[in-house]
Amino acid sequence: MKSLKTICILAAMLACNAAIAQPRAAVSTKDYEFTTVKENPITPVKNQYRSGTCWCFSALSFLESEAIKNKNIKDTTMFPDFSEMYVVRKAYHDRAIKYVRLNGKMNFAAGSDFGDVLEVARDYGLVDQKAYSGLQYGYDLPVQGELDAVLKGYVDAVVKNPNRKLTSVWPKGLDGILDAYMGEIPERFTVNGVSYTPESYLNSFKLNTDDYVGLTSYTHHPFYTAFAMEVEDNWRCTPSWNVPLDEFMAIIDNAVNNGYTVAWGGDVSEPGFTRDGLAILIDTEAKATSGSDQERWVGKAEEQPQEKKTVKELDVTQEIRQQMFDEKTSTDDHGMHLYGIAKDQNGTKYYLIKNSWGETGAYKGIWYMSENFVKGKTLNIVVNKKAIPANIKKKLGL
C-alpha cells in the first residue's frame, strides 16, 4: 500500500517478500495450533511478485468475495477472477493526469489505496483476468520496476515542459507506454460464453461501489466523521469514517460473522509479522526469562521443544494505537484480505488473512493475525455498509 517504507514498494523494487527477509523475533508456527471459527469464501491466492500493487490484489480479492456472496456462487470453478492489471492500468492513467495538473506536487509511485480500486471500478468497470493479463513484457508474473521508472520519467518530463504550454497529445504518449508494457484494453471480452464490456461485467456481479465504505480509528479527528487518511499513497484523498476502537473491531467481527469479508490495510514491519504466516503484536517491553530463576530450574525455552511457547502480546488501547500512528511506528505498508476468524490452542483470537505473495509460508499464502495485531496495526479497512452494526451505522448517518 502506501509509503516508500512499505512492503509493496519494496516489492516493486526487489521482490514480493524482500522486506520480510530481515531477521525476525522468535515466533514459530510450530508453537501454534489454530482452529477455524468462521471463514467466508475467497478466491485462490495470487502473487503480486515484483510489483507494488498489493492495494489492487487485496481490494479485488475483497470484491471477488462480494461477487460470490451477491450471486450465491457455490461452484468454485465459477468464482470470478478480476484482472488486477486492468485496474492498475486505469489507475496509472488517472494518477498521471492528476500529477501533471498538480505540477508534480503529489506522490507518483506504485503504491495506492483501496479507494483507487473502487473508483476505477465505478468509472471503468472490471475485466476478467484471462481477457487482460497486463503482462506484455515477457514475464508470467508482474515485474514493474522498469514500467514504474519509465512512467515517472515521462510525467516528470511533461511537468517540466520548457514550452510552458502543454500539448494535447501527451496523454496519448502516456497511453502508448501503458499499451507497450501492459497491452491494449479490450472493448469486449467473453467469459463462460457470454460477451461483456468492462461495465456490464461489473454489473453482472451486482457490484455497486457505493455499497462500500472505508473505516479507521484515530483520535486526531473527531469520531463519527470522515477524513482522508494522511498517507502519501492515498492520492485520490479517499475518506475513511472514524470510529472508536471498540466499534472498529465490532465492525470487523460483525462483517465476518455475517458472511462478509474485509479489505485490510496496515503495518507489517513488526517483528511479529513473520514470513511464515503469523502476525503477532509482540510486547517488546515484556521481561525476558534470561538469567531468571525460571531458567535456572527449567532451562531456556529453546531447550524444551515439547512445550509450545506463545509470546506475550501488547495490549492495545485507543491511546497506544494513536501513539503508534503519530510516531510512525505504525506505517502504511501493505494491503491484504481479511475473511475469517480462528483461535489458537489457548483460545486467543486471530483473523484469517489472505495475502498476495503467492502460496508461501506454512499456510500457503494465508496469515493468522492476532486480535491485538489488528487493533494496533490496522490503518484502515473497507467493508460493505450492510456489514456495519445498525447502531454504529446510525451514528455515521449511513
Pick the CATH number of 7-396 from 3.50.50.100, 3.90.70.10, 3.90.1150.10, 3.40.50.2300: 3.90.70.10
Q: For residues 201 and 87, is the Cβ–Cβ distance under 8 A?
A: no
Cα dist. 184→336, 369, 387 in Å? 28, 39, 37
Cα dist. 3→8, 69, 119 in Å? 9, 33, 21
pLDDT range class, residue 163, cuts 50, 70, 90 = confident
Strands 239-242 and 35-39: unpaired
pLDDT value of residue 206? 97
pLDDT value of residue 45? 98
84-101 and 145-159 are packed helices; what angle lies between their axes, rounded to 10 degrees?
A: 20
What are the backbone angles phi and psi of residue 215, rounded to the nearest 5°? -140, 150
pLDDT value of residue 15? 36
pLDDT range class, residue 1, cuts 50, 70, 90 = low
What predicted TM-score, i.e. pTM, was given to this entire model? Answer: 0.89
pLDDT range class, residue 213, cuts 50, 70, 90 = very high
Query: How far apart (Å, rounded) are the C-alpha atoms in residues 108 and 96?
Result: 8
- Across 184-212, average pLDDT: 97
Cα angle at 24 between 366 and 36, to 5 degrees? 25
Alpha helices by DSSP H, listed for the chain, are: 7-13, 54-71, 84-101, 114-124, 145-159, 170-182, 198-204, 245-257, 293-298, 318-326, 371-377, 390-396
Which pLDDT tens digit goes with each residue over 235-279?
A: 999 999 999 999 999 999 999 999 999 999 999 999 999 999 999
Q: Cell triple for residue 239?
A: 475518506
DSSP state of 193: T
pLDDT value of residue 27? 84
Which pLDDT tens digit goes with each residue over 346-356?
A: 999 999 999 99
pLDDT value of residue 280? 96
pLDDT value of residue 26? 60
1 burial (CB, 10 Å; 0-12 / 13-18 / 19+) is: buried
Query: How far apart (Å, rounded) are the C-alpha atoms in residues 204 and 188?
Result: 14
